[in-house]
Structure 1
Amino acid sequence: MTIIYRFRPMKYLIGDDGDNDYRELEKQELALSSPRYFNDPLEGYQDVFWEGDEVLWENLLRHYLLNLHQAAITCVLSDDEETLEEYAIEPKLTRGDLSTDERRQQFDSICQLFFEEKGFESVPSSLASLPEPLKRNNLKQILSVIHRSALESVLERMRGSGAIPEGWPEVTISGDSETVEDLLDAISAAMAGENEELLESVASLVRPLESHMYLQQAVQTGVEQIELQHKKCHFLHHSFPDRYIREITNSLIHTNWHTLCFAKECASPPMWATYADEHRGAALMFRADCQTDESWGKMDVSEGAGSEDSEPTSGEITAPLHAVDYESPPPEVDFFRFLGRLPLPKLESAWHSTPDGRTSQMMDEIVDDLDAWRENLWNHFHSMSTRKLRKWEHEQEIRMVLPDLLESEGSHRKVTYDMSQLEGIVFGLRTSLEDRFEVMKIISENNQDGDSSPVEFYEMVYDGKDFRKVKLNVA
Structure 2
Amino acid sequence: MSNEFYRFRKISSLLGEFQELENQSIYFADPESLNDPMEGFRDMYWSGDYIVWRNLFKHYLLCLEKLSSLLLISGEEHPISKQDILVLSNDALFPTLEYKILFEKMVNDFFDNKNVLKLIEDISNRTTPIRKNELFFYLNNVHQFALDIIFNVYESNNLIPKREKQATSSDKAIKNLIDTDFIGQLEKSLKESIDGDKVVNALFSAQRSTYYQMDLIHTYNGIFNQSTKNKNLVLVDFPDAYIEQLETLVFPEWYTACFMSECKSSSVWGHYGDNHSGACLIFSSENIDNKNFLNLKGRNGYSSVDGPTYGFSKREFYPINYVEGYGEIDFFRMLGRLPTFTIQSMWYSLDGEISKCADNMMDSEDKWRDNYWNNFYRDIAIKSQDWSYEHEYRLILENSFDSFSEPKDRSLNYEFKSLKGIIFGIKTSKEDKLKILKIIEEKCRESKRDDFCFYQAYYSSDEKCICYYPMNLIKFQNEV
Residue 191, structure 1, aligned to residue 190, structure 2: yes
Question: Does 1:226 find its partner at 2:223?
Answer: no
TM-score calculated relative to the size of structure 1: 0.86
Q: CA deviation at 1:401?
A: 2.1
CA shift in 2, pair 1:41/1:161, >3 Å: farther
The answer to which of 80-89 and 280-289 deviates more is 80-89
Displacement of 1:440 in angstroms is 2.0
Name the SS for the 1:132 alignment partner: coil
CA deviation vs aligned residue, 1:376-427 (integer Å, no higher than 9, x gap): 1122122122222222212111112233332304152122111111122223
Q: In the TM superposition, what is the alpha-carbon distance from 1:60 to its structure 2 partner? A: 0.4
Match in the other structure for 2:362: 367
For 1:414-433, what aligned pairs fall within 5 Å after superposition? 414-433=411-430
How is 1:215-294 mapped onto 2 (pairs within 5 angstroms)? Answer: 215-221=216-222, 226-227=226-227, 229=228, 231-249=229-247, 251-290=248-287, 292-293=289-290
Is residue 334–residue 372 contact of structure 2 (8 Å, CA) maintained in 1? yes
CA distance in structure 2 between the partners assigned to 1:38 and 1:394 by the alignment? 16
Is 1:97 matched up with 2:93? yes
Q: Which amino acid aligns with 2:241?
A: R
Give 1:32's aligned residue: 28
Instruction: For residue 199 of structure 1, report the CA deviation from its aligned partner.
Output: 2.5
> Could you say which residue in structure 1 is the equivalent of 2:303?
none
Q: Who is 2:348 aligned against? A: 352
2:10 counterpart letter in structure 1: P
2:275 aligned partner, one-letter code: E
2:469 matched to 1:474? no
Name the amino acid aligned to 1:368: D
CA 1:150–1:191 in 2, change beyond 3 Å: closer, same or farther? farther
Q: Deviations over 1:240-271 (max 9, x none)?
A: 2222112112x122233332210111122332
* In 2, Cα distance between equivalents of 1:168 and 1:317: 61
Question: Could you tell me which residue of structure 2 aligns to residue 331 of structure 1?
Answer: 327
| More deviation, 84-93/53-62 | 84-93
Tell me, in whole angstroms, the C-alpha distance in 1 between the residues paired with 2:38 and 2:416: 34
Q: Aligned pair in 2 of structure 1 residues 142, 148: CA closer, same or farther (>3 Å)? A: same
Match status 1:458 vs 2:459: no
Structure 2 matches for 1:164-203, cutoff 5 A?
164=160, 174=170, 175-181=172-178, 182-192=181-191, 193=193, 194-203=195-204
Alignment correspondent of 2:211 = 210
Look up the SS of the partner of 2:176 in the other structure: helix
Distance 1:274 1:124, change over 3 A: same
Q: CA deviation at 1:96?
A: 0.5
- The reply on whether 1:403 has 2:402 as its aligned counterpart is no
Q: Give 1:454 shift.
A: 3.9
1:75–1:88 Cα contact (<8 Å) kept: no
What is the distance in 2 between the residues matched to 1:399 and 1:30? Answer: 12
CA distance in 2, matches of 1:311, 1:419: 27
Q: Deviations over 1:290-337 (max 9, x none)?
A: 4734x3x222222249xxxx9773522122212111126422222111
Is 2:76–2:230's contact at 8 Å kept on the other side of the alignment? no
Cα distance in 2 between the residues matched to 1:61 and 1:226? 29
Counterpart of 1:119 (choices 86, 105, 115) is 115
- Provide the C-alpha distance between the structure 1 equivalents of 2:215 and 2:244, rounded to a whole number of angstroms: 21
Aligned length: 459
What amino acid sits opposite 1:401 in the alignment? Answer: I
- Once residues 289 and 59 of structure 2 are traced to their aligned partners in structure 1, the CA distance between those partners, rounded to angstroms, is 43
For the Cα contact (< 8 Å) 1:207–1:242, is it kept in 2? no
> In the alignment, residue 8 of structure 2 is paired with which amino acid?
F
SS at match of 2:312: strand
Q: In the superposition, relative to structure 1, how do residues 274 and 190 fare at CA in structure 2: closer, same or farther (>3 Å)?
A: farther
Q: Compared with structure 1, are the counterparts of its residues 456 and 365 closer, same or farther at alpha carbon in structure 2 (3 Å cutoff)?
A: closer
Change (3 A) 1:433 1:299: same
Contact between 1:118 and 1:149, CA under 8 Å: does it hold in 2?
A: no
Conserved? CA contact 1:151–1:171, under 8 Å = no
Distance in 2 (alpha carbons) for counterparts of 1:408 and 1:2: 30
Identify if the C-alpha distance between structure 1 residues 267 and 234 changes in structure 2 by more than 3 Å, giving closer, same or farther: farther
Measure the CA separation in 2 of the matches of 1:461 and 1:159: 72
Tell me the secondary structure at the aligned position of residue 179 of structure 1.
helix
Asked if 2 retains the 8 angstrom alpha-carbon contact of 1:211 and 1:238, the reply is no
TM-score by length of 2: 0.86
Closer, same or farther in 2 for the Cα pair 1:54/1:136, shift >3 Å? same
Deviation at 1:36, TM superposition (A): 4.5
Indicate the SS of the match to 1:95.
coil
Any conservation in 2 of the 1:46–1:330 contact (CA below 8 Å)?
A: yes
- In terms of fraction of residues, the more strand-rich structure is 2
Q: 1:236 to 1:430 in 2, by over 3 A?
A: farther
Query: Deviation of residue 157 (structure 1)?
Result: 2.6
Q: Helix, strand or coil: the match of 1:277?
A: coil
C-alpha distance after superposition, 1:355-395 (max 9, x if no partner): x4443243355223212211211221221222222222121
Distance in 1 of aligned mates of 2:264 and 2:320: 18
Matched, 1:72 2:68: yes
SS of match in other structure, 1:318:
strand
Q: Residue 215 of structure 1: CA displacement?
A: 3.6
Q: What are the Cα deviations for residues 45-66 of structure 1, in whole angstroms up to 9, with x where unaligned? A: 2222211111110000000111
Q: What is residue 10 of structure 1 aligned with on the other side?
A: 11
What letter is aligned with 1:145?
N
Aligned residue for 1:252, secondary structure, equals helix
Separation in structure 1 between the aligned mates of residue 431 and residue 262 of structure 2, nearest angstrom: 26
Bigger-Rg structure (1/2): 2
Partner of 2:133: 137
SS in structure 2 of the partner of residue 469 of structure 1: strand
Distance 1:146 1:387 in 2: 35
CA distance in 2, matches of 1:52, 1:35: 30
1:388 aligns with 2:386: no
- Which segments of 5 or more consecutive residues in structure 2 lack a partner in the other structure? 301-305, 475-480
Deviations 1:118-141 (A, max 9, x none): 731222211111112212221122
For residues 285 and 173 of structure 1, the distance between their equivalents in structure 2, rounded to whole angstroms, comes to 66
2:147 corresponds to 1:146: no
SS at match of 2:48: coil
Distance 1:324 1:202 in 2: 33
